Amino acid sequence: MEFQTKIGKSTRDQIFVHGYDLTEDLIGKITLADMAFLGAMHRKPTENESKMLNALLVAICEHGYTPSSISTRLTYLGAPESVQSAVAAGLLGAGTVYLGAMEYVAEMLQDAFQKYGEERVLQEIASLVINERQESGKQLPGFGHPVHKPEDPRTTRLFAIAEELGFNGKNSQLLKEIHRQICEKKGKTITLNAVGAIGAIMADMGIDYRVVKSFAVAARAVGLVAHIVEEVEVGRKESFGQQLFDYIEEHTDYRG
Amino acid sequence: MEFQTKIGKSTRDQIFVHGYDLTEDLIGKITLADMAFLGAMHRKPTENESKMLNALLVAICEHGYTPSSISTRLTYLGAPESVQSAVAAGLLGAGTVYLGAMEYVAEMLQDAFQKYGEERVLQEIASLVINERQESGKQLPGFGHPVHKPEDPRTTRLFAIAEELGFNGKNSQLLKEIHRQICEKKGKTITLNAVGAIGAIMADMGIDYRVVKSFAVAARAVGLVAHIVEEVEVGRKESFGQQLFDYIEEHTDYRG
Amino acid sequence: MEFQTKIGKSTRDQIFVHGYDLTEDLIGKITLADMAFLGAMHRKPTENESKMLNALLVAICEHGYTPSSISTRLTYLGAPESVQSAVAAGLLGAGTVYLGAMEYVAEMLQDAFQKYGEERVLQEIASLVINERQESGKQLPGFGHPVHKPEDPRTTRLFAIAEELGFNGKNSQLLKEIHRQICEKKGKTITLNAVGAIGAIMADMGIDYRVVKSFAVAARAVGLVAHIVEEVEVGRKESFGQQLFDYIEEHTDYRG
Amino acid sequence: MEFQTKIGKSTRDQIFVHGYDLTEDLIGKITLADMAFLGAMHRKPTENESKMLNALLVAICEHGYTPSSISTRLTYLGAPESVQSAVAAGLLGAGTVYLGAMEYVAEMLQDAFQKYGEERVLQEIASLVINERQESGKQLPGFGHPVHKPEDPRTTRLFAIAEELGFNGKNSQLLKEIHRQICEKKGKTITLNAVGAIGAIMADMGIDYRVVKSFAVAARAVGLVAHIVEEVEVGRKESFGQQLFDYIEEHTDYRG
């Protein structure tokens, strides 16, 4: 049997990653986020691509206390010898509910251009997408936010950076047009959330929608470092995990 | 009950992370890796710190086919709808065997200075550390490599960058001195591996040894993106996961 | 805040689980599998229910080398100090591809009776279900097997036990009728696989389709014990994980 | 390459597990827990072994709200489509802190007999073990409990069942003697906890200490089913996960 990969190999004194010499071409020359780009696109990003990608992943990597980061802290409480388990537990909650929309937005936009052609005016395509969703009863992904209303500050910032760096492509423009039409229809401003914006900009960077979410998962892993650090720093007894567990024990009503 | 955190909070139109305004101070201004630094040190890295950290994490993030990345691909085979599970499965193998040394090196060095004082000459401290380990029968972490002999190309490169950027501190110097003495004792050059070098340099950057490994785990999550992408690109039937599974099925001798 | 649960509480000298006294009513009186039943149905199983459930879970818990058990072994290779990680990694591959069908079968059957009523003859309902799937292009879950053709020996055995213990209810009967009609249509015998049979019998036991898969996941965790044991017994060097990793390293063609 | 295993193989119409025909010898004839025994001991348990093992695993499988089951519920909140992730997240907290003692007790007892011989009177061996631990500053595992003082009701029950079924062997007797001496030394009754009792009884059943914990992990997976069921039954909005998350959001003091 012969397995194949484009990813990497090692010799006695060299390591190759996607065709690049790791020590000569990559270490000290590209950022951590660029390694994910390299994995997805099989080439190093340009300077602008690197800036854009880092901006997107910085935007998505930290959210304070979330079901994910709480699971990380509770897992650390029981298995402090195994920080990888704490990170893994935190990632497992990144399912369809919170992060899925990033993928669904990229898919919706990439599908729309494939289905309706690229020649039509965006206004028309946006309208077709909205109608299609309405008819099939499927939700439009990328809209709404429990806290950031009517504007998600990350969306504004990310679209501004995308504009500046040359990534305000057709996908972002289509998503903005869909947003415009929905707000018009509803007669009020609905939030175009950060997850939606990121899905659109990643689509404009040429990243396949099936891969988009794995970038977000990796960024979350980076964000979870801070949560482990905070548990380590305050010490077991004062840790969030321990305090939360104690609180729940004392405030549970058993109805068996 | 009132929980506390320094990590983050959101208001209607602002998000704060470690005291910084996410959209004003962080998005578009720092790299993804810097978010882990921010989490561990509670401040943004300097330009040199950012460069150093990115170099370290780029060095550790990808290793081609490893038990970790193989688990990621096999998990993706069974649960392609859940890329976070594939990444998590890949992280779970990052236990004591492969990545642990990074933490152990940082701990050994930070402990040595605490125990033996910082005034002694490094030569003496190195000798004390080696003897102590020998007496207790504990292994010296950070040495040896199955492929890269007698030099790990990443070690050379990372120490050169550390020198250039001003991070060739006492921890790296002590590790190098321990290395010199061991090679002298054994009469041959033992590899000072990348994991060891990274542990020492992170110690010189001021990062607590208990936290060092979580950086590596996060970097691995970034590296695993490429493995998911490759499975997606070649398609299920031709995927590494499927081919490996088929091969094992055909080549298993049952001795029940 | 007051959290609620029916599951369990402890006092100084008693532990209650679902209304039962753990030491008086459960320990030594019910089997491990019955604890899952208790969790799902909020009462202890009858003797026949216990026998049926144990039979179902014994049937599903072990499959030799699978992507799941291989991931468990590879994870153990890197993190032998953390067997829970090895088990968790093995569970993560239990996604839509291999185990999903159990849930889909139970859902299909429970939905069919809800939609088409319970008064119609099974022949008619089966035909409606098949047509509905055909029209919407959705696959019929529970059929086909790569090895066991044209009969899955577990299916035969499980349906016989169900018959004997009084669980050959409407769901199993409907699935068998669907099977009969498909085979007739195709002019050859298609395998009704074990996962399908289990889904139907669990539906006949009154277990909600949304919960069915978690039983299988728990059974898999039990099955993974054997794989960790085998790695422990043969020792690291001769372990499957190490040998597999070595083989892959030597047989990889790098096309970067 | 030829991989080996004693665990299982399939032919067209038969499945073998550890030398037994799955459909003829196992399904309908043994309990789920027995499959773990079969994996560890390579033979079916006797009737008494099966009763004992089921009693042990029933005792350990459910604990109400714990860091583990809370992580399961929080993970389900974010990824309801992936119950295996919820179970896996719950297992990852089963590290050294809560479950480790089971393994440590079995190891301590098995080591003691190997080191001090089996001929000495238990009183003497117990005293040697206690002194050894005291000198090396290592904790004695299996003692103490936050709630169950001075007696853990599960311990009493499990030792009674072990007595009745013929498993009150040297390991259990040594642990009880250690317990007696400690209480004497301290002048008060310290709890001999369930995890300790289970470690001793499993040692008396002949199960290797390195494998003991994987049984507990599997039992926990069974216990987590109930927690997923409860989240499913009350529905997303009223789920524990959602309510906990909301509560934390409203009660967090940001000190950035």
Over the stretch D93-150, which tens digit does the pLDDT of each residue have?
999 988 889 999 999 999 999 999 877 899 999 999 999 999 999 999 999 998 899 9
Residue A9 confidence (pLDDT) above 90: no
- Chains touching D (at least 3 CB pairs under 8 A) are A, B, C
Separation in Å, CA of B59 to nearest CA in chain A: 6
List of chain C residues whose C-beta atoms are within 8 Å of the C-beta of residue D154: 15, 22-23, 27
Measured between CB atoms, does D8 come within 8 Å of chain B? yes
Residue A11 confidence (pLDDT) above 90: no
Residues A255, C4: C-beta atoms closer than 8 Å = yes
**Which residue did the predictor score with more confidence, D119 or C88?**
C88
Distance between CA B138 and CA B122 in Å, rounded?
21
If you average pLDDT over residues D210-230, what whole number do you get? 96
pLDDT cut 70: percent of chain C above it:
100
- Condensed to tens digits (0 to 9), the pLDDT of residues D7-26 reads 988 888 899 999 999 999 99
Distance between CA D84 and CA B212 in Å, rounded?
30
The pLDDT, as a whole number, for residue A63 is 86
Residues D3, B248: C-beta atoms closer than 8 Å = yes
If you average pLDDT over residues C75-84, what whole number do you get? 96
Identify the three-state secondary structure at position A219. Answer: helix
Measured between CB atoms, does B135 come within 8 Å of chain D? no
Residues A16, C256: C-beta atoms closer than 8 Å = yes
Residue of D nearest to A256 (CA): D64
Distance between CA A192 and CA A185 in Å, rounded?
15
Residues B256, D81: C-beta atoms closer than 8 Å = no
Residue of A nearest to C20 (CA): A256
Give the pLDDT band (50/70/90) at residue B46.
very high
Separation in Å, CA of D69 to nearest CA in chain A: 10
Measured between CB atoms, does C206 come within 8 Å of chain B? no
List of chain C residues whose C-beta atoms are within 8 Å of the C-beta of residue D10: 64, 147-148
**Most B-contacting residue of D247, D254, D255 (CB-CB within 10 A), to test interface:** D254
List of chain B residues whose C-beta atoms are within 8 Å of the C-beta of residue C94: 78-79
Whole-Å CA distances, B132 to B45, B112, B125, B193, D236: 35, 10, 10, 21, 56
Separation in Å, CA of A236 to nearest CA in chain B: 13
Give the pLDDT band (50/70/90) at residue B256.
low
Are B16 and B8 in contact, with CB atoms under 8 Å apart? yes
Residue C256 confidence (pLDDT) above 70: no
Distance between CA B82 and CA B75 in Å, rounded?
9
- Indicate the residue of A5, A27, A59 with minimum beta-carbon distance to B59: A27
Distance between CA D111 and CA C231 in Å, rounded?
21
Indicate the average pLDDT of chain B. 94
| β pairing state of C252-254 and A3-5 | parallel
DSSP C4: E
The pLDDT, as a whole number, for residue B142 is 96
- Chains touching B (at least 3 CB pairs under 8 A) are A, C, D
List of chain A residues whose C-beta atoms are within 8 Å of the C-beta of residue B107: none
Residues 15-74 in B contacting C (C-alpha not used; CB under 8 Å): 64-68, 70-71, 74
Residues A85, C82: C-beta atoms closer than 8 Å = yes
Residue B118 confidence (pLDDT) above 80: no
**Cα B158 to chain center, whole Å?**
13
The pLDDT, as a whole number, for residue B91 is 98
* Cα torsion D106, D109, D112, D118: sign: negative
Distance between CA A141 and CA A144 in Å, rounded?
9
Measured between CB atoms, does A255 come within 8 Å of chain C? yes
- Indicate the residue of A59, A84, A208 with minimum beta-carbon distance to B217: A84
Separation in Å, CA of D188 to nearest CA in chain B: 35
Residue of B nearest to C85 (CA): B92
| Residue C81 exposure: Cα atoms within 13 Å on the Cβ side | 16
Residue of B nearest to D21 (CA): B256
**Nearest C-alpha neighbor of B65 from the set A9, C238, A35:** A9
List of chain A residues whose C-beta atoms are within 8 Å of the C-beta of residue B208: 229, 232
The pLDDT, as a whole number, for residue D256 is 63
Give the pLDDT band (50/70/90) at residue C28.
very high
List of chain B residues whose C-beta atoms are within 8 Å of the C-beta of residue D71: none
Indicate the average pLDDT of chain D. 94
Residue A256 confidence (pLDDT) above 80: no
Measured between CB atoms, does D78 come within 8 Å of chain B? no
List of chain C residues whose C-beta atoms are within 8 Å of the C-beta of residue B217: none
DSSP C28: T
Distance between CA D183 and CA D143 in Å, rounded?
10
Whole-Å CA distances, C28 to C19, C49, D51, D158, D226: 17, 17, 7, 8, 20
Measured between CB atoms, does C252 come within 8 Å of chain B? yes
- Indicate the residue of D65, D71, D81 with minimum beta-carbon distance to A248: D65
| Residue B16 exposure: Cα atoms within 13 Å on the Cβ side | 14
The contacts of residue D2 (CB under 8 Å, 6+ apart) are: B251, B252, B253
List of chain B residues whose C-beta atoms are within 8 Å of the C-beta of residue A32: 31-33, 54, 57-58, 61, 219, 222
The pLDDT, as a whole number, for residue A8 is 86
DSSP D253: E
Residue B214 phi/psi, 5° resolution? -65, -25
Q: Which element (helix H / strand E) includes B5? A: strand B3-5
DSSP B21: E
Least confident of A206-210, B249-253, C41-45, D221-225: B249-253
Hey, how many other C-beta atoms are within 10 angstroms of the C-beta on B181?
15
Distance between CA D2 and CA B247 in Å, rounded?
10
Measured between CB atoms, does B225 come within 8 Å of chain C? no
List of chain C residues whose C-beta atoms are within 8 Å of the C-beta of residue A248: 3
List of chain A residues whose C-beta atoms are within 8 Å of the C-beta of residue D228: none
pLDDT cut 70: percent of chain A above it:
100
Q: Quote helix, strand, coil % in chain C, to nearest 5.
A: 65, 5, 30
Distance between CA D2 and CA C250 in Å, rounded?
15
Residues A213, B84: C-beta atoms closer than 8 Å = yes
Residues A93, D80: C-beta atoms closer than 8 Å = no
- Condensed to tens digits (0 to 9), the pLDDT of residues B186-245 reads 999 999 999 999 999 999 999 999 999 999 999 999 999 999 999 999 999 999 999 999
- Indicate the residue of C4, C5, C251 with minimum beta-carbon distance to A3: C251
List of chain D residues whose C-beta atoms are within 8 Å of the C-beta of residue B19: 256
List of chain D residues whose C-beta atoms are within 8 Å of the C-beta of residue B255: 4-6
If you average pLDDT over residues A171-189, what whole number do you get? 97
Separation in Å, CA of B225 to nearest CA in chain C: 16
Hey, how many other C-beta atoms are within 10 angstroms of the C-beta on B30?
20
| β pairing state of D15-17 and D8-10 | antiparallel
Q: Quote helix, strand, coil % in chain B, to nearest 5.
A: 65, 5, 30
**Nearest C-alpha neighbor of A154 from the set D17, B17, B132:** B17
If you average pLDDT over residues C54-63, what whole number do you get? 95
The pLDDT, as a whole number, for residue A117 is 83
Separation in Å, CA of B98 to nearest CA in chain C: 6
